[in-house]
Amino acid sequence: MRHGESEWNLARRVQGQSLDAGTLTARGIADADAAAGLLARLADKAVVVISSDLRRAADTAEVIRTRLGLPIQFDSSVREQRLGALEGLHTDAPWGTGTVKSEIDSLWSDPRRRPDAGESVGEMSERLLAALSGVLQRCPDGDVIVVTHGGPIRALLLDSGHAPASDANRVRVPNGSITSFATSGDAGRPRLTLIERHDARDGQRLGVPDTDRGHASVSESP
């Protein structure tokens, strides 16, 4: 699942892995609480919560832990993409011949290209798949709840063939939304199959990604 709305989501500032990015807004806490209610139904066999150690995700995970009574393991491997020099900037700020937002979009068009002092989409994907492999080996039985960020979820949708390669960064992943995958194959290189997606704010299912495109909303700054 994606963390609840954060202060920098609301301010439309690029978060990436910046340690200066704020915590959850009041709406973000409500996002986390609503997601916990959905997870109680969707992941009733969950045995652990794995969370990014970035504050907005960690605070979301604490809400999940309180509601569901599950242990938490913090893992830096499921952090957002490291966006380096772009972090902290407003998404509409000028960058090159476009804006910061268009620069981030362009990184998904060329998954090998790194932003200054950052990591490429391809590197983020490899990091996530390695983390997922480790989780599956540690927790072979039961469901696992992973609290992460918009970029990693889009990367997993792309890797599993459920997002358009040319437009993956525009797939809607709302704050607090839940994306459920089944895993199969070797735990060393698991295959992902999308089960369903839910928007925690209204409990409704989200459309399949290749028909659910749209420009990022205010709350979808990476």
Q: Where are the domains of the chain?
A: 7-220
Q: What are the pLDDT digits (tens) for 156-182?
A: 999 888 877 667 888 899 999 999 999
Rounded Cα–Cα distance for residues 38 and 63 (Å): 13
Q: What are the pLDDT digits (tens) for 100-113?
A: 999 999 999 899 99
Rounded Cα–Cα distance for residues 167 and 216 (Å): 11
Closest CA to 166 of 83, 110, 99, 126: 110
pLDDT at 166: 67
Mean pLDDT of 22-49: 96
Closest CA to 173 of 101, 132, 221, 130: 221
Rounded Cα–Cα distance for residues 189 and 91 (Å): 34
Q: Which residues are bridge partners to 6 per DSSP?
A: 24
Question: What's the mean pLDDT when you consider all of the chain?
Answer: 91
Q: Is the dihedral of CA 20, 36, 50, 194 positive or negative?
A: negative
Closest CA to 148 of 71, 204, 81: 81
Q: Which residues are bridge partners to 192 per DSSP?
A: 183
- 7-220 is classed in which CATH architecture? 3-Layer(aba) Sandwich (3.40)
For the question of residue 3 being annotated catalytic, the response is yes
Q: What are the pLDDT digits (tens) for 121-132?
A: 999 999 999 999
Is residue 82 within 8 Å of 19, Cβ to Cβ?
no
Residue appearing with tokens 């907005």: 56
Residue appearing with tokens 């990184």: 107
* Residues written for the chain: 222
214 pLDDT above the threshold of 50: no
For the question of residue 87 being annotated catalytic, the response is no
Using pLDDT thresholds of 50, 70 and 90, give the confidence band for residue 195.
very high
Long-range contacts of 99-102 (CB under 8 A, 24+ apart): 100/14, 101/216
**Of 80, 87, 103, 119, which is the active-site residue?**
80
119 pLDDT above the threshold of 70: yes
**Of 3, 149, 162, 198, which is the active-site residue?**
3
Q: What are the pLDDT digits (tens) for 4-18?
A: 999 999 999 999 999
Closest CA to 78 of 116, 130, 42, 120: 130
| 212 CB-contact burial (10 Å; exposed 0-12 / middle 13-18 / buried 19+) | middle
Question: What 3-state class would DSSP assign to 222?
Answer: coil
pLDDT at 219: 41
Edge-to-edge strand list for the sheet holding 46-51: 72-74, 46-51, 143-147
Using pLDDT thresholds of 50, 70 and 90, give the confidence band for residue 203.
confident
19 pLDDT above the threshold of 50: yes
